[in-house]
Structure 1
Amino acid sequence: MVLKIEQKLIFAIFLLFQIFEIIANESCILSTGKAGVCVPIKTCERDLDAFVFETDFCANNFSEICCESVNLRISLDESPKEIKTTRDFESYASYKLFDSSKCGKIDEIERISGGEEADLLEFPWNALIGYQSKTALEFLCGGSLINEFYVLTCAHCLVNPNGRIRLDVKLVRLGEYRKSTTEDCKILSDEQKLCADPVQDIEVNRRNLIVHSDFSYLEKIHDIGLIKISKAKMEQNNIKPICLPFEERFETLPKSLVVIGFGRTEKSSNNSDVLLKAKVQTISNEKCFDEFKKAKSNIYFSINNDLQFCAGDIRDSCRGDSGSSIQFPQIFEGTTVRQVQYGIVSFGDIDCGSHFPGIYTKIYPYISWILENVK
């Protein structure tokens, strides 16, 4: 009897500590206009994909979220839940080449909320693919660093319409933020200067361009590829890998995603000098296809529900480069929040401001293919 009383007393004290900790946290206002409190993500019952990007996160670092009091969760069970994977991904020898302790990290550097431009060091996995023309090196496609030796991109950036490997693929550039400057810096609120490390240019051997064997340039299906590179300098602050969706739950897309790249904007017909980002909403493939049919009579492709998805925003759909990543922060491996890549920019409308959605290659159905081709 005494033991039970002691257990109840300990439990009550524990609850009081948790309640006091919550009360001590900063108050905040959700994007819905309701009042909330800044708490660790695992103590709030809201789903991450229900948040409005950035505005519902506290401290600009994604470690805490603005949680309405009715959604607060107080629990003694602090142990991570079992992570479910499908298709036995861990059985692949290459699985160990993906270090979950390093991928998709969201640092605590103060961020500029909103706007078209990405912030310095916000997306350190973004890659540029350089093509050698007769007169210059041109960066025409993007990609994402997924580990020290591989960049993920789309197949149509690596092959010609006839299906042959492009001969003009010259290099991969990692760590780029502003193309016109050799050093990228920002001034923090305390007047301290933060600078990105130098970019890393890695020459590409054409034998290291890997394209899905069933890719169809005409039908736009299986639009996924890999580039094997020499070792990325991941010790630099501007070169880090993104997390891939190895967990079963990542098969379901969030309502909102963020696409990045050096694509064009409504204000300019030229590619952007600085890395851009845009929050987009997922759209049903049926509605997406209808939008294309309304404006284009020569539709020669379909959208595969299992392998592709549509997303767009109210401003434009061409901010991302072909091959660039589309991602969203999620709870990863139980407790930490990481950026997880859900798709690859595949194709869409080329006219900025016309409000057409973009079409993306889903990554989850191709995890086995990626693991089979990463050596």
Structure 2
Amino acid sequence: MLLIYSLFILCYYVQFIQSELYYGSSCVVQKDNTTGQCVYIHECPEVIPGIKRWIFPQNCFFEGSEVVVCCPNKGGTFRERTIDLPVIPTDPPRKADQICSEYEKSLMNVTENIDEDGVVHVTIVGGTDADEKEFPHMSQIGFKDNGNIQWICGGSLLSDLFVLTAAHCLSSLKYGDAEHVRMGIVHVDDKANLQEFHIVQRIPHPDYTATAHYHDIGLVKLCRPVQFNEWVRPACLQTQPVLVGGPLIVTGWGDTAFAGDASKTLQKLVLVLHDSNKCNDLFRVSSKKLQSGIRNDVMICATSVQEIGDACQGDSGGPLQVRKATNINNANLYTIVGVTSFGKACALAKSIPGVYTRVSNYIKWIEDQVWP
């Protein structure tokens, strides 16, 4: 059986073509043209007898050492995805997870106006315009500039007082310290639902230094509490290193081309994970700020599923996220898995990834600041 399964894995590598399917996606079982669902092979006992007879199931994609197959949908029910993690009964739930549960319950009680088509839209360089209220945690970080405000970084609302961003977005050699935050907008000229705040505290991660790309994560504390509504709502945090859920989405108001103009409308772009070893080969030699190379424990590499697309200048500090929940009124709750950190000549080359600070590595530090 082990030999057969090994050959199945080998066949998978030979035949694999990158797909936009993800865990839980609907798929088509080609042998009988019926609907199936992408699940781990060990969660689909229906395919095991066939494997023993050298009849291999249709594959959705490969995740690490796990094969995700198109499992025939018998009865229309599947087990929820599980992660084998050690359980320590004496450990209390993470504060971030408890807060997220509260956010999700609140979301399900929201009564908002639903879009006419009733569709959840998940359709930056290569990106598309975000819909109104689609990313209610999305924030902008601003710097004073001779009486004006330069909005040059992004961020994610975590609570009524704190916004998550990149550590390098807390201060600028040109403009000094970040001093403003605004949210509740999709277009930069929107005023109707705008909430704007002064920053009273900038908190870089203690291990961050401007001479390196590592630990590029920070928080800003606002001068007063945010008023939550359908336009402004906090996001959850990815507390486990294993990424689960739907497609990765990066958002920002950054340049729409390399050295181009900043977008006036919030952009969204679907990304996929990029192999960390290949990512390391691309960046390590060319960057003096990566003396230890790309570190998979504190960084995530992701690239666009399109021909050309990437986070760009002005997207720094913004979220790499997955949708966690959507209510019947099309209101969204997201989980932040990464913070946009740096890239390489955005949009000038195909399949060049961006690098994001891995949020799950910093949960304890974030909890201590935001929910002490």
SS at match of 1:288: helix
Which deviations, in whole Å up to 9, do the C-alpha atoms of 1:247-293 show, x marking residues without a partner? x4x53366841100011223981110000000111111211122236
- Which of the residues 227, 248, 251 maps onto 2:242? 251
Q: Deviations over 1:85-141 (max 9, x none)?
A: 88946365x876553335787986435563611111110000100110124201011
CA contact (8 A) 1:103 1:242 kept: no
Q: Is the 8 A contact 1:130 1:138 kept in 2?
A: yes
1: CA distance between counterparts of 2:247 and 2:60? 8
- Paired residue type of 1:227: V
Matched residues, number? 297
Q: 2: CA distance between counterparts of 1:76 and 1:265?
A: 41
Q: Of residues 139, 145, 158 in structure 2, which corresponds to 1:146?
A: 158
* SS of equivalent to 1:156: helix
2:136 is equivalent to residue 124 of structure 1: yes
For 2:358, the equivalent position in structure 1 comes to 362
Q: Secondary structure at the match of 1:359?
A: strand
1:327 is aligned to: 321
Residue among 74, 86, 101 paired with 2:104: 101
CA contact (8 A) 2:156 2:235 kept: yes
* 2:196 aligned residue (201, 204, 207): 201
Counterparts in 2 of 1:108-257, with a 5 A limit?
Answer: 109=115, 110-112=119-121, 114=123, 116-159=128-171, 167-183=176-192, 198-205=193-200, 208-229=201-222, 230-234=224-228, 236-246=229-239, 248=240, 251-252=242-243, 256-257=247-248
Aligned equivalent of 1:62:
none
Following superposition, the deviation at residue 321 of structure 1 comes to: 0.8
- The amino acid that maps onto 1:70 is P
Give the 3 Å change call, closer, same or farther, for CA 121–32 of structure 1 in structure 2: farther
Out of 132-141 and 310-319, give the one that drifted further.
Answer: 310-319
Contact 1:44–1:72 under 8 Å retained in 2: no
CA distance in structure 2 between the aligned counterparts of 1:103 and 1:214, rounded to whole angstroms: 35
Task: Give the aligned residue type for 2:319.
Answer: S
Give the whole-Å Cα distance in 1 for the aligned partners of 2:194 and 2:87.
35
- Contact 1:89/1:95 (8 A) holds in 2: no
**Cα distance change, pair 130–72 in 1 and its aligned pair in 2 (3 A):** farther
| TM-score with structure 2 setting the length | 0.66
Distance 1:299 1:342 in 2: 22
Report the residue type matching 1:371 in the other structure.
E
After superposition, the Cα gap between the structure-2 partners of 1:297 and 1:127, relative to the gap in structure 1 and judged at 3 Å, is closer
Counterpart position of 2:52: none
SS in structure 1 opposite 2:93?
helix
TM-score by length of structure 1 reads 0.66
SS at match of 2:322: strand
Bigger CA drift: 106-115 or 124-133?
A: 106-115
Aligned position for 1:309: 300
Q: Which residue of 2 aligns with 1:284?
A: 275
Structure 2, gaps ≥5 residues long: 1-24, 41-58, 62-69, 327-331
Change (3 A) 1:369 1:81: closer
Could you tell me how far apart the structure 2 residues matched to 1:226 and 1:46 are?
36
C-alpha offsets along residues 5-29 of structure 1, whole Å, 9 cap, x if unaligned?
A: xxxxxxxxxxxxxxxxxxxxxxxx9
Structure 2: how far apart are the matches of 1:299 and 1:267? 21
* Cα distance in 1 between the residues matched to 2:162 and 2:145: 24
Cα distance, 1:324 vs structure 2:
0.5
| Equivalent residues of 1:257, 1:328 under 8 A apart | yes
